[in-house]
Structures are given as C-alpha cells and as structure tokens.
Chain A
Amino acid sequence: MKVGLTTYSLHNKDFREQLYSMIKNGVTPDFIIVHYAGLYKVAKVVNFLKRVFSQYKLKSIAYLLSYNKVKTPLSAKYKLNDEEQKQVDRCLSSIKIISKGGINSKDTIKTLQNLGEAIIVCNSGILNGQVLSLSNIIFLNVHASQLPKYRGINNVEWALWENNEVYGTIHKIAVGIDEGDILLQEKIDISGNALKSIAEYRAYCFFKSNAMVGLAIKGYQEKKLAFVKQDITTSPLAQYYSMHSILKGYLEKRLQSR
C-alpha cells in the first residue's frame, strides 16, 4: 500500500510535521500531491493584499480576495527544530511530487484512481463524495481532539472550556464532519508545558497530533492498529461550532489564571 500526503504548500507547518512524523517512525511516503503549486505565490500576494484591505476597512475588496484560502506557514512556539526541518527537506528531494488542482478536481480524481491502493494524509480542504467514494484510497485526517466527543470546529477550545483533557486523533475522512473510523487516538500530555493561552494550547495540540501520523500509519501497515467505528449521535448539538469571541475571551482569562 502506497503512502502519501496532500498539501497546498511544501512549507505548510502541519504537512511538514506530519511528514517528519512519518520519517521518524520509518514510514517512507511514496508521493505528495501539491495543490495549485504555481498559484501559491500569487495566493500569498492575494492574502497580503487582503490583510492590507482589511486593515484599512476596505472590507468588500478583502472579501473578494478571500476565496483563495491558502494555508500560509505559521510561526509557532511548537514547531520542528532546524535539524528536523532539514530531514524533511532531504526527504522531499527524493519523493515524487505531483502538482494538481483542487483535491476534488477531475484531474486529481483521475490521478488518485491510478494510484492503486494508498493511504493519504489530507491537508487540502473538504473532500467531496466522489473523492471519498474512491475505494482504493484511505484518506486520513488529523483532529486535535477527542472523537466522537469533540467533532467540528474549535475542538481544542471546547475541550478546554469543559475542563476536559486534550487528545489527538487520526481518523478516516468520511462524508459527515469528523465522523470517520478512528485509527489512533491518544491523550496529549500537557504536564511540563506552561500553556497559558488558546493559541498555545492549539499549537501544542496540533503539533502533538501531527506527530501521531507516522505511528498510526506504521501501526496500520504492521496490522497492529485497525480502524474503529465511532459511536456517532445524530443530535446537532453533538457537533461543535466556532466559538464566539466573547466566550473565547472568557476562556483566555481562565487559561491565564491556571
């Protein structure tokens, strides 16, 4: 079974951390699909202009530019060190890089169909039903929270809001939001880390969750891990939505006083 990753950019933080996790666990990726590679630099300029327009209250122009949502490299406290980054770069120089349009484009679907059996860690937006119906591919997602408890957006925040422990989960991507079968789920140990803000918690949880990718794939390849179905409830309240900024403000204060 081939192993691959998708990303909008080879500089994407999550992508690089996931790739490093594979290297560290002895999993060699066969390919990387980079979406809109040629447009990445243009998108960076667009995002820069968007920020400028937003700054000067030219919201409507900023909105017009906002369709091109490209993940830009994030600077964070929890990131790969220089040596780890070099290992990632060395690995990238030897992997087949496939440049494609969007993950749901016809062109990409054709490529995926011709890949044979593969397991792909996705960092490229929402997959449509047609892509998910490809029987030869297992698409994986990294979710920085416990499933099925914290499905949806701002999952780290909601777990903290409810004073619950934080988890990392590697799961199959399904049509429903964060509803796919779980391959690996582990509690994230935060002891020894003076995390004092939402941003720090998020960065730490995603960093740790990304680090689980290699372990999950290796476990699956060696048949030590298997997908486990989630016990999903259909209530709309069993899914989490973006947290209102006033609530985020309250949470932020709570975290600071911990």
Chain B
Amino acid sequence: MLGSLIRYVRNFTVSILFRKERGIVLLDFRRYLLGQKVINIQTINPWSDKIYNEEERTAALDKAIVWLLHSQDSMKDDGFGSYHIIKGWTSSYVETSGYIVSTILNYAKTNSQDDIIARAKKCGDWLVSVQKPSGGWQGERIEDDRPEVVFNTGQVIRGLVDIYHVTGDKKYIDSVTKACDWLCGIQENGGYWQKFAFKGVPRVYDSYVDAPLLRVFEITKNEKYKERALKNLNWILEYKQLENGWFEDCDNTIKHNDRPILHTISYTIDGLLECGLLLNDKKIIDAAIKSADKLFELFNKHKYLNGRYDSTWKGSEYPICTGCAQIAIVWLKLYKHTGNIQYLNAAMKMNDILVFIQDRGKEEASDTLGAIPGSYPIWGKYEPFAFPNWATKYFADSLMLERECLKIINPNKSK
C-alpha cells in the first residue's frame, strides 16, 4: 500500500515536472478526473458525445500502426517494445511481438505496404532466433531472460503462422510445430497447463493458446494439437465458467484472482470464440456469447467497462484500454457470426472511446503519438504511466475488424 503510494507520487511528480509527456497526464486530469469524478459521471461523461467518422477512424488506425512501427524501430532487435513515461522504452516483448506481427500483416493486406511485410518477416526471424531449445518462448521482455511460458508461446505461434501464410517459408512452420509439440507435452492430464504457466497456476485465458494450436492443426493435420486444444476447452467449459458467464482462475495474478482484469477476461472469451468458430462447435461459441453478452449489457448500461470484474460482475478500477479493445473485437466477431447489428453498434461505440483516448489533440513526440495507454486515465492501476504495445495492437485490430464489418453493410466503401 505504502510502496504503491510512493510509486504513484514519484510517477506523478517526475512526469509532470521532468517529462515531455506532462501534457498527456495533465490532459487526463482535465478530461477524466475533473470531468467524471469531481462533478458527476451521469452529467458529465467525457466521451459520451465523442463520435468519430470513418475518415477519423482511418486516421486513428494509421496513427496506431505508425506508433507500432516506431516501437519496432526503437528496439535493439526486431521485436516490439512498450513506452513508459518515466522509464522510457522497454526492450522487446517476445509474446506481444508475436501477435503484433499478425496486426501489421493484416494492415499491410489492406494498405499494400511491402515495407510492413518485410518488417513482419524480420520480427518473425527474430522470434525464431530466440525460441528456447524446448520449443517454447520466454515470458516478459527479452532482457529479462525468463523461462518459457505457455501463454506467451501461444501468442508467438499466432504471428509465425500468419507469416508462414504470407511467405510460405517452411522454417516458420517448423518453429511452430516444435512449439506445439512442447505445449502438448507439458499439458496436465486434466487439460490445463500448470507447468510453465505464468506464476505456475492454471488459467482459463489459455483458451487463447488453444486457438493457435487449432490453426497449426489446420496446417499440419496433426490430430494431437486438436485433441489438446479440445481438452483445455472442455476443462474451461466444464469447471471454470459460472452460470452468469464469469470465469474462475482468470486473472494473471494470484492476489486478485477473485476479480480478474478485463484484459484476461477478453482473452478467455476471444479464445473460446475463435476455437468455437474454427471447430464449428456451438457449445463453445455459446459459452463465449454468454460472457460477451454480459459485458455487452454492462457496457450499454454504464457506457464504459471497468478494469476488473468480480464473480457477480461488479466492476472496479479504471478502464483498461486493451481489454476494451479486445472485447470490441469479440463483439465484432459476433456481429460477423450472428449478423446481430447490436454487437457492431456496441463495438463502434467502444472504438469511439478508444479513439477519444488516443486523440489527445496535442503535439506529441513519436514515442507516444498514436499510442493507447494501459489505463484510462493514464495513472490507472493497469500499466500506469505506460503505453503497452498490446493496447495499441488490439486497438488497431479492432478498427480494422470494424472496417471489415462496415464493408459488409456498405460494400461500395473503398477503404
């Protein structure tokens, strides 16, 4: 408690007195603290009237991608790092570099930028080069040199599978096959992962590992990958999802496991949905819908989502931007799957909030321009005073998927 207070005081003082990003912190003071807390959340909701048109959304997406590429340029290697107002750039995150590759490749697809494909390939090569002899990839930042982690390995697989689809280079598939073999080898009989799990505890957000396993199964036809993914999915559905859609063992901490963060809740739902769609399995899709609908209801009621939710879906803590973007992605996928326009409508409103958060309307250095903070306001408990690259990644993903969905409605739109 005291340590946390000291950290906050230090971060506030340093950022306001000594950092060029002081404007960002002060802006959040003005638009969040004064707007929402001091007066009245009902009367003054700082984002309630912020609606961005399609051109502004495209500009926001372009800015986000430029920042992601700047993040890659700021690294010693070819991975992607995050920016912290006090500490500056981190070294590359192995896990998030993996799934950012998928984001920039998707962007390159619609924007025909060969340079981006080359960058994705470079990152892919770097990821192959840092693969552990076991087949897994390490947790956290590359400089931490940690042991391999199940979840992180799954996310690197995502990126490498996408590069394989673009380049057809067999080395990527060899790498992910090795990783999948490792994942299958260390899975517990109960269907969950405990050894090499983050903090050594089984977690339901490994559904987001099952999806890449299934995607590698589609390429290699190795039944083992599908079996293990199904085993994990059954464990989640049978033992870990409550009747109201909330998940047990869903947080990436042990201390706050009774009220997981939206980030990991969204991983879990997205993983289930992706697997359900890949397998065409109604039971798994319905499990994802159950939780996604609850968050849909809460979002429409309150006009925002909290950072954490307990087992009664009571929210706490400031919004976590990455979780907001991730759940918007889930709703967009559900729109594509069900055709229910209410999902698209909600996702677009969520994206409005995120564009509003990104749209700081000030002159910014390239270290922050276009980036999405960990929390809103920036001093929120999740990744305080930082711009984690995965928040911007999911924001970009959400905007790209939204554009795809709008094309279904209005196919004449060129971009």
Contacts and interface: CB of A to CB of B under 8 A. Distances in A.
B293 interface: yes
Contacts of B293: 235-237
B51 A250 contact: no
The SS class assigned to the A binding surface is helix
A247 B300 contact: no
Given A66-B43, A246-B406, A236 B54 contact: no
A98 interface: no
B345 A244 contact: yes
B25 interface: no
Given A236-B293, A237-B296, A250 B345 contact: no
Nearest to A251: B409
Interface in B283-299: 293-294, 296-297
A237 B54 contact: no
A243 interface: yes
Interface in A63-79: 63-64, 66-67
B297 A236 contact: yes
Interface string B325-357: 000000000000000111111101100100000
Interface in A46-103: 59-60, 63-64, 66-67
B348 A244 contact: yes
Contact of B345 (A60, A162, A243): A243
A241 B340 CA distance: 13
B296 A67 contact: no
Given A60-B44, A67-B43, A246-B53, A241 B346 contact: yes
B129 interface: no
A247 B341 contact: yes
Interface in B24-60: 35, 39, 43-44, 49, 51, 53-54
Nearest to A161: B341
Nearest to A244: B348
B342 A240 contact: yes
Contacts of A60: 35, 44
Contacts of B300: 236, 239, 241
A245 interface: yes
Nearest to B406: A246
B410 interface: yes
Contacts of A67: 43
Contacts of B53: 245-246
A5 to B, nearest CB: 27
B340 A237 contact: yes
B342 to A, nearest CB: 5
A247 B348 contact: yes
A240 B348 CA distance: 15
Interface string B92-106: 000000000000000
Given A63-B43, A67-B43, A250-B409, A244 B297 contact: no
A63 B352 CA distance: 19
A162 B340 CA distance: 10
Contacts of A59: 49
A156 to B, nearest CB: 15
Contacts of A63: 43-44
A236 B296 contact: yes
Contacts of B296: 236-237
The 5 A-B pairs at the shortest CB distance, nearest first, are namely A236-B297, A244-B348, A63-B44, A245-B51, A241-B300
